[in-house]
Amino acid sequence: MTRYLARRLVQAALTVFGVVTAVFFLVELSGDPAALLLPTEASPEDLARLRESLGLDEPLLVRYLAFLGNAVQGDFGDSFRQRVPALPLVLERLPATIELALSAFLLGIGMAFAASLAVRLTRSERLRTGLLWVAFTFQAIPTFFFGLILILVFSVWLGWLPSLGRGGLDHLILPAFSLATFELALYLRLLNSAFLQEQSQDYVRTAYAKGGGRAYVLVRHVLPNALLPIVTIAGINLGVLLGGAIVTETVFSWPGVGRLIVQSVSQRDYPVILAGVFVISLVFVVINLLVDLLYAVLDPRVRYS
């Protein structure tokens, strides 16, 4: 187990290193940051001076090695635009992203569980088809469009909820719901097929033969087995959400990591981009590791060595 963990941690570190390296060279293609920082009428001398002060005049490879040396110490450099260290700038946005991602994730998966348990318990074919229709529809609507509709209805027409920014619970409702509907659709379909598949297994018949009722057998026997295929997908998906729901964060002006990275890309703010990518890939690999460990808890047949 310890060896397994050690191996996974090394893999995780390599993954993060690979992602950050790839992005370091990719942003280099986006153009000259100095040109965006100075007004268009700036002289070539001004540009050269700025490049020098930002360290951009060094050869690419030298800059890369210097970046790596600083990054392992947690220093991603200062934001070109805001002149403050880049990593704290990203970390400061992280709570907003976690808040939105977790609430959308829990809301979506919770609704999906409630709905699919209701379908199994009532055995209503009509309810099942109805819900799947809703799921397909939600999945087919682009997130930004659905977000705008929500704003139009609940903020503009009804005036019930704020349309942008982060604040109290009322600010969270619209963006979280907008993201959650997509999650709901995904998990509803996954759970539906997982339940159907497990329901016909022999151990279910055994549970009935012992005298279990329908709800009991569903919750005690079918559910834990149906969870197994869901956990993997949910882990990857939560990682994606925590990486910043860029579209939703933009539509609702949610001050999360995703929106920060998008802004930084358009401003060619290299340190912030790299710090952001570092944080997101770290979150992603950690969640994946946790999911694999959780899997071993849920399924006794899985043992890591």
Partner 1 sequence: MSASLLSVRDLVVEFDGPHGPVRVVDEVSFDVGAREVLGIVGESGSGKSVSLLAVMGLLPASARVAAGEIRFDGQRIDDAPEARMRALRGGAISMIFQDPMTSLNPVLRIGTQIGEAIRLHAPQTPKAELRERVEALLASVGVPDPATRARQFPHEFSGGMRQRAMIAMAIANGPKLLIADEPTTALDVTIQAQVMDVLEGVCQDNHASMILVTHDLGLVAETADRIAVMYSGRIAETAPTDALFARPSHPYTRGLLDSLPTLDAEHDELRSIPGQPPDMAARPPGCAFHPRCTLGQGRPACSSERPDLRTVGIRHAAACHYAEEAAGDAPPREAAQ
Task: Give one DSSP letter per residue of 150-218, joined into a string.
Answer: HIIIIIIIS--S--SS--SHHHHHHHHHHHHHHHHHHHHHHHHHHHHHHHTSHHHHHHHHTT--HHHHI
Q: How far is the CB of 227 from partner 1 (least distance, A)?
A: 9
Nearer to partner 1, 59 or 300 (CB): 300
Q: Which is nearer to partner 1, 44 or 213 (CB)?
A: 213
Nearer to partner 1, 152 or 298 (CB): 298
Number of residues that bind partner 1 (CB under 8 A): 22
Nearest alpha carbon to residue 134 among 155, 157, 154, 116? 116
Q: Which is nearer to partner 1, 110 or 212 (CB)?
A: 212
Select the span of 34-42, 73-81, 109-117, 297-305 touching partner 1 (CB under 8 A): 297-305
What whole-number distance in Å separates Cα of residue 9 and Cα of residue 289? 8
Site for partner 1 in 193-222 (CB under 8 A): 201-203, 205-213, 216, 220-221
3-class SS of residue 85: strand
212 or 255: whose CB is closer to partner 1?
212
Q: Which of residues 224-243 bind partner 1 (CB under 8 A)?
A: 224-225, 228
- Residue 146 CA to residue 178 CA, distance in Å, equals 7
Residue 173 CB-density burial (10 A; 0-12 exposed, 13-18 middle, 19+ buried): middle
Segment 144 to 203, residues that bind partner 1, using CB under 8 A: 201-203
Cα(60)–Cα(65) distance, rounded to whole angstroms?
9
Instruction: Report, in Å, the least distance between residue 288 CB and partner 1.
Output: 22
Listed residue (179, 98, 175, 112) closest to 142, CA to CA: 179
| Pick 93 or 128: Cβ nearer partner 1 | 128
Query: Which parts of this chain interact with partner 1 (CB under 8 A)?
Result: 201-203, 205-213, 216, 220-221, 224-225, 228, 298-301
